[in-house]
A and B are shown apart, each in its own frame.
Chain A
Amino acid sequence: MKKIHKAADLKQIKENIIKNSGKGKTLITICGGTGCNASGCEKVISAFRREIKKQRLKDNVDIKITGCHGFCEKGPIVVIHPKGIFYKQVKPKDVKDILTETIVKGKIVDRLLYIDPLTGKKIIYEKDVQFYKGQKRIVFANNGLLDPYKIEDYFAICGYEAAAKALTNMRPEKIIDEIKKSGLRGRGGAGFPAGLKWESCRKSKGTKKYIICNADEGDPGAYMDRSLIEGNPFSILEGMLIGAYAIGANLGIVYVRDEYPIAVKTMKNAIEQAQKYGLLGKNILGSDFDFDMTIVRGAGAFVCGEETALIASVEGKKGEPRQRPPFPTQKGLWGKPTNINNVETWANIPYIIKKGSKWFASIGTEKSKGTKIFSLVGKINNTGLVEVPMGITLKEMIYSIGGGIPENKAFKAVQTGGPSGGCIPKELLETPIDYEKLKEAGCIMGSGGMVVMDEDTCMVDVARYFLEFLQDESCGKCLSCREGTKRMAEIITDITKGQGKEGDIELLTELAKVVKDTSMCGLGQTAANPVLSTIKYFRDEYETHIIDRKCPAGVCRDLYISPCQNACPAGMNAPGYISLIGEGRLTEALALALDTNPFPSVCGRICDHQCMFKCRRNQIDEPVAIRSLKRFIGDYEENGIEYPSIVYPKEIMPFKVAIVGAGPAGLSCAYFLARLGYKPTVFEKLPVAGGMMAVAIPEYRLPKKILQREIDNIKKIGVDIRLNTEVGKDITISQLWSQGYQAFFIAVGMYGDRRLGIPGENLENVIQAVDLLENINLDKPVVSPAGKKVIVIGGGNSAIDAARTMLRMGAKEVTILYRRTRREMPAYAEEVEAAEHEGVKLRFLIAPEKIFGEKGKVKSIECIKMKPGDFDNEGRQKPVPIQNSNFFIDTDIIIPAIGEFSDVSGLFTGLDVETYPDGTVKTDKHGRTSIPGIFSGGDVTSGPATVINAVAAGERAAVTIDQYFTKDRTRKYSWREHKKVDTYFDPEAEPVKYGMQKPKVLPPIDRKGSFEEVEMCYTKALAIKEAKRCLRCDLEIELQEKLREEKPLEVKR
C-alpha cells in the first residue's frame, strides 16, 4: 500500500479507485446497520452471495454491505444503484427474485416496494420515500454508500480532501475561525460552541494536548452515534485530524462503549487503515504535524458521557465527575488541556472545512446551525435515524417524516434528549428543533434521542421510568443527585401505586428544582427534567393519580381493576357482568351493569366501546364483544331475563333538584340522585325524553321501544320527567329557584346544526341532518327522497345516519362528500362499513362550494377537489383546495351534517354563568359552573361526545350535587366501589382459542325500505360462549394481593 505523502497523492489514489471500480456494473447496497442486523440482514447478505455465484452474475453486479441507512423500521433494506431502486424488508427468499427480475430483466419486484401509508401508493425509488424526502442529510449522507471497512470507498467520495485543505493551506487559527463562523455547536447535548472550545484549548498553556471523541452514547433508544461510527468512521477520523491540527494536539482518543462491538471494530479498522495510508502518524500529508489515535473502551456507565467523568474513566479511575472549573480545556486528561467533542460534532468538521462556514451557517436557525441526527423511536410508524436541518418543527418530524402514530392512535408527548430530557405535549408541537426553543419548552436537545408516546402512555409512569434509570446511573458522588433522584423516584413510585398524598406534586417540584440547581454535573442538573416537564404539561394526570387514584392510560397496574373498566368513562365492571353471563346468572349480571349505567341496552347498541379497544383478549385473537354482551342482558324482556328487584334508598333527601334536558347526561344524573334518595325533576323541551338518543339516532340502530323502557325504569325509582317544558322560555331558572329548587344540572346538549356557510344553502331541499333525523323520529313530515339523488356532506356519525336513513326511505342514490380522507372520518368504522354495504357511496377530499337551484329547489352542487396539506397538532392533514378543480354534481336533496353547536344564552338570562366562545359551558372537573348551585355536564360542556361519556358526566354531577348538599367529601357511593363477583375462574388454565362470536345482522337486501334493527341480539348459548372468552384481568390484582399476603414481610433493620 502506497503511503500518502502529499495532497496530490490523495488525488491520484482517488482517480485510480474510480477508474478501477466496476463501471457499468449494477451495485446492490445492503444495509448492515444495527437495525437491519436485528431484522436479519446477515442471512440476506449470504443469500445474495450464494445466489450471485449460482446465477453467475459476478461480472454484472457488485454487492456492498453498508452502514445504517436510517429507515430501520423497514429493514433489511436493499438499494440498487445507480437507479436507486428501494426494496424494504427483504427476506432471503426474495433474493432470487431481485436478481432474476431487477438485475437481469430490469423489472421491479412489486411486493418488495415501500407503500406510502398516507397515499397508499407504491414507491420505487429511494429518493421518493417520504421518510428520506423530509430530511437533509450531510453527516449521514454517505452512510448508505460506503463500506465501513474500506477507506478507499471514502477516498472515492472525496474523503480526506478537507484534511488536505486544512493541513496544507490553512493555519490553525484560520480553521478555528472557520468553525467559529460556522456556528457549529456541540452535538452531545449542551450545545457549547465548538469553535470557542477549540480556541480555549489551543490557548491553554502546555505543549502536550489531547483531543477526545465522546462515543459513550447511553440514552435509552438513541443509536445515532453508534450508526455513524458503524457506517462512516472515516469522517470522524478526518474531523479529529483537522481538530487536532487546529488545537495542537498529538493524540486523539475515541472513548466508545464496549457494548458497541461493531463500532469498536469499525473504528479500530479505520484507525489501522488510516495509519497504513499515512493519514495518522508522523508528518501527515507532507506537513510537519504528527497525530495518532487510539481507542478506549468504556464499561458502559451512563455518567461517563459527562466529560470530567469520561476523563477519569480514561485515566483508569472510577468514572465520576469532578466540579468544574478548571475545565478540561484547561486541565483535562492527565492534567493536560483536553478537547472533548461528540461523535457527530467531529463528523461535521470535514464538511464545514470543505464547503466553508458560510454554507454551513446558511442551514438552520439563527443560533442553531447545521443539521442534527435524531433517532426517532417509540410509538411512531417510521422508526429510524433522521437527519434534519435545525429549525424544523416537531410536527413535521413526527407526522411527515415519522409517518404518524401506529394504529391511528392519538399522539400524547414526545420526549427529547434521553432520560434527562423533557416531554413536550401536543400543544407545543409547533416548537422548532433548536437548542434555545427546546430549552424554553423545558426540554434539552440532548444527543438526539426522540421517543414518541401515544395515548396509551402514562406520563407519571414515564417520569418514574426515567427516574429509576437515573438513580441507577447517577454516580452517587453528590448528595443532591444521588439522594434527589432516589427520593423523587420514591415519591413517584408511591403515586403510581396509589399511595400518593396531597402535596406530593409540590414536594416533587421543590425537590426537582433543588436537584437541578445544586448538582455537580450535567447528569444531576438535568435529572429533574422528566419530572418538571411532566408536571408542567401533564399535572392533571398526576392529580388524577393522587386524588382519584386512577391511571387514565391504564398503565399503573395498582390503580385499575381491568383495562376495559379503566377505559370505560362510566367505569362499568365489564369483567364482572361478563363472567356472570358466562355462568348464566343473567339477572345478577344485569343488576351489576345497571349499578353504573342506567342505559345498558342503549349502550349495548350504540356505544363507541372504548373498552373493546383495550381488551387484552385482542392480543390472543379478537377482543371480547363487550358491547353485544351488554345488549344481551339489556334486552331482558326479549331474552327472558328477570329484571332485578329495585332497592329503594333508605333515607329521603329533602332537597329539590332540577335537571334541564332529558338526554343521557340529565337522565343519568337523575338516576343516580334518585338512588341517593333525592326526587329530581327533569325538564325537557321536546315531547319525548331521551335527547339525542331519541331524536338523532335512527330506529334501525336504536328502537324507540328499547329506549323508552330504560327511561321508564329510571322513572320508577322516583324521577319526575316534565316534557314540553323549555327552561328559559316556558319557565326560567329564577322561577324554579323560587319554587324551592336548590340545585340545577344543565345538560341541554348540542342541538343547533352548524351551517355550511356557502351560497344556496337556503334553497328548498337543503335539510340539516339533525333536523331531518329529528323530524323522522318525531313522525313529522319530511321530504320524500324516493327515487331521488341525495348528497350528504360530512364525515361524522350523523352524516352516516342520514345517508342510511335516506337509502331506507327509497332514495335512488346516496353519496357522502367528505373534505378529508377516510382515515380521518370521525364516524365509527363499523357504521361506515355498514353504510357502504347498503350502497351508500363515499367520496373523499371534496368540499362543497355553491348550491345551484331551479325554481327554488336544489338542482346541483358545485364542489372543489381537495388535497391533504400540512399536518395539524392532532396529526390530521388540513385539506387544501386544488385550484380550478371545480366540478358539478346533479342532485335533488342536500343534507349538510358538519357538526352541532350549543346556545345556552336564553337559558341563563340574568345569570352570570361563564361559557366558552363556542357556546359550551365552563365547568371544573366535577361539573361545577361558575355559580354555586348550578352544575353542568354532557355535550353542553364537552362538545359532541358519546352516550357513555354523558352517563359518566351525569354520575359525576350527581355525586357533586350530593356533596354540595351534604358538605361531606368523604361520603361513599355504593356504585363507585368495586364489586367482586364470586364466579369461578381458573387462572392457570390456558385460554381456549376461538374468535369473537358475532351477532347476526340483517342482510343488506332486507334493509331497504325497512327500519328494522340491523344488528340482532345474541342467543343465550352464543352469549355464554362469548362471555367465556373473557380473560378476567380483574383477578390479577386479587391474585397479587393473595400472593402478597402469603409472602412473609421483609424484615427491616
Chain B
Amino acid sequence: MIELTIDGLPVLVEEGSTILDAARFYGIDIPTLCHNDGLTPYGACRLCVVEIGKGENAKLVSSCTYPAEPGLVVRTNSKRVTEARKVLVELLVAMCPSSKTVQDLASAMEVKKVRFKVEHNDCILCGLCVRMCEEQMMAKAIGFVNRGKDRKITTPFDMKSDVCRTCGGCMYICPACELRCQGPDAETDLCNACLNVQPVCLKEEDNKMCFLGTCGWCYEELGRKKKK
C-alpha cells in the first residue's frame, strides 16, 4: 500500500493506482473528460490536472496518468488548478459549444462566458472512441491522422473500413455527438441553469411542460426578461 496526501487528507491506496483512482476512492471529485474506467488513461483533455510538489517545484500533472507515489502531496482544488481548468473548459466550449457534457463541465466550474471565437466542431479529439474501438471492441478501425490543428479521427485513408463492424461503440462513448442543449440565444453564453437551479417551469408557468426535462432554461430566460 502507498501512503500519500490528497488535499491535506492522508490516504492509503494500492500500488499501481493513479492519483485519480486514489482521489475517487476517497470521494474527492476531480473533473474528467477523456477518462473512462474501462479504457487506458490517455491524459489528453488535461481537465483532471492536480498540483503536486512544493514552492518553485510545484507543477500541474494529469491525475489520470500520474502514478500514486509514497509521500506525494496532491492538491486537487488549488487556485492554480481551478484557474487552469476554467480556461481549459472554455477552450472546450469554444470548440464544441453544443455538447451537453462539455456544457455541464463548464457549468460546474462556473464558466459562463466564452472569450474565444466559437467553432462548431463535431469532435473534441478526446480519443475515447479510438481507445474504445481498439481496447474494448478489438477492432482498431479508427485512429488519429495529421497533427496540430489538422488532427482528426478517421479510418485509414478516409475509406470505409474493413475491420469496422459498425458496432456503434464509438458513438456510445462520444461526449460530443450526444444529446445537445441549444443553450440561450448568444452562442458564447452558457446559462448553467440546469446545474444551478431547481426545475421551475411548473412553478412559474402553470401549463408548460418542458420537453428537455429539468433544464431551467426558461427560468433563466424569464430572469433576463425581467431585467430588461
Could you tell me the distance between the alpha carbons of A485 and B148 in the complex, rounded to whole angstroms?
Answer: 9
Q: Which residues of A contact B62 (CB under 8 A)?
A: 323, 520
| Chain A interface bracket (under 10, 10 to 19, 20 to 34, 35 or more) | 20 to 34
Q: Which residues of B contact A798 (CB under 8 A)?
A: none
* A479 pairs with B44, CB closer than 8 A: yes
Q: Which residues of B contact A472 (CB under 8 A)?
A: 147-149
Interface string of A535-571 (1 = CB under 8 A from B): 0000000000000000000000000000000000000
Q: How far is the CB of A769 from chain B (nearest CB, A)?
A: 55
Q: How far is the CB of B126 from chain A (nearest CB, A)?
A: 8
Cross-chain contact of A478 among B46, B95, B116 (Cβ < 8 A): B46
- Whether a CB of chain A sits under 8 angstroms from the CB of B4 is no
* B115 pairs with A507, CB closer than 8 A: yes
Contacting B at CB under 8 A, from A321-376, are 322-323, 325-326
Interface string of A472-511 (1 = CB under 8 A from B): 1111111110111111001000000000000000010011
| A479 in contact with B92 given A490-B116, A507-B115, A514-B87 (CB within 8 Å) | yes
* A517 pairs with B66, CB closer than 8 A: no
* B149 pairs with A482, CB closer than 8 A: yes
Q: How far is the CB of A867 from chain B (nearest CB, A)?
A: 45
Q: Which residues of B contact A514 (CB under 8 A)?
A: 83-84, 87-88
* A478 pairs with B147, CB closer than 8 A: no
| A325 in contact with B92 given A476-B147, A518-B84, A1053-B120 (CB within 8 Å) | no
Cross-chain contact of A518 among B49, B65, B125 (Cβ < 8 A): B49
* B46 pairs with A520, CB closer than 8 A: yes
Q: Which residues of A contact B66 (CB under 8 A)?
A: 323, 325
Cross-chain contact of A511 among B44, B59, B87, B117 (Cβ < 8 A): B87
* A517 pairs with B91, CB closer than 8 A: no
* A471 pairs with B149, CB closer than 8 A: yes
- Whether a CB of chain A sits under 8 angstroms from the CB of B175 is no
Could you tell me the distance between the alpha carbons of A510 and B87 in the complex, rounded to whole angstroms?
Answer: 8
* B120 pairs with A483, CB closer than 8 A: no
| A477 in contact with B44 given A472-B148, A483-B91 (CB within 8 Å) | yes
| A479 in contact with B148 given A514-B84, A517-B80 (CB within 8 Å) | no
Could you tell me the distance between the alpha carbons of A15 and B18 in the complex, rounded to whole angstroms?
Answer: 60
Per DSSP, chain A at the interface is: helix
Q: Which residues of A contact B127 (CB under 8 A)?
A: 477
Q: Which residues of B contact A477 (CB under 8 A)?
A: 44, 127, 144, 151
* B88 pairs with A480, CB closer than 8 A: yes
How many contacting A-B pairs (Cβ < 8 A)?
Answer: 97
Could you tell me the distance between the alpha carbons of A919 and B151 in the complex, rounded to whole angstroms?
Answer: 59
* A475 pairs with B148, CB closer than 8 A: yes
- Whether a CB of chain A sits under 8 angstroms from the CB of B97 is no
Could you tell me the distance between the alpha carbons of A358 and B215 in the complex, rounded to whole angstroms?
Answer: 71
Could you tell me the distance between the alpha carbons of A479 and B32 in the complex, rounded to whole angstroms?
Answer: 13
- Whether a CB of chain B sits under 8 angstroms from the CB of A318 is yes
* A318 pairs with B144, CB closer than 8 A: yes
Could you tell me the distance between the alpha carbons of A857 and B92 in the complex, rounded to whole angstroms?
Answer: 83
Could you tell me the distance between the alpha carbons of A490 and B146 in the complex, rounded to whole angstroms?
Answer: 20
Cross-chain contact of B88 among A301, A475, A479 (Cβ < 8 A): A479
- Whether a CB of chain B sits under 8 angstroms from the CB of A429 is no
Q: How far is the CB of B16 from chain A (nearest CB, A)?
A: 12
Interface string of A442-474 (1 = CB under 8 A from B): 000000000000000000000000000001111
Could you tell me the distance between the alpha carbons of A520 and B46 in the complex, rounded to whole angstroms?
Answer: 8
Cross-chain contact of A519 among B46, B94, B146 (Cβ < 8 A): B46
Q: Which residues of A contact B95 (CB under 8 A)?
A: 483
* B148 pairs with A473, CB closer than 8 A: yes
Q: How far is the CB of B80 from chain A (nearest CB, A)?
A: 7
* A474 pairs with B147, CB closer than 8 A: yes
Chain A residue at minimal CB-CB distance from B34: A479
Closest 10 CB pairs of A and B: A476-B151, A323-B65, A514-B87, A323-B43, A483-B91, A474-B148, A518-B46, A514-B84, A517-B60, A480-B46
Residues in chain B within 8 A of chain A (CB atoms): 41, 43-47, 49, 59-62, 65-67, 80, 83-84, 87-88, 91-92, 94-95, 115-117, 120, 124-125, 127, 143-144, 146-151
What are 20 sample pairs from A and B whose C-beta atoms fall under 8 A apart?
Answer: A325-B67, A471-B149, A472-B147, A473-B148, A475-B151, A476-B125, A477-B144, A478-B44, A479-B44, A479-B91, A479-B124, A483-B91, A483-B92, A485-B148, A486-B149, A490-B117, A510-B87, A511-B87, A518-B84, A1053-B120
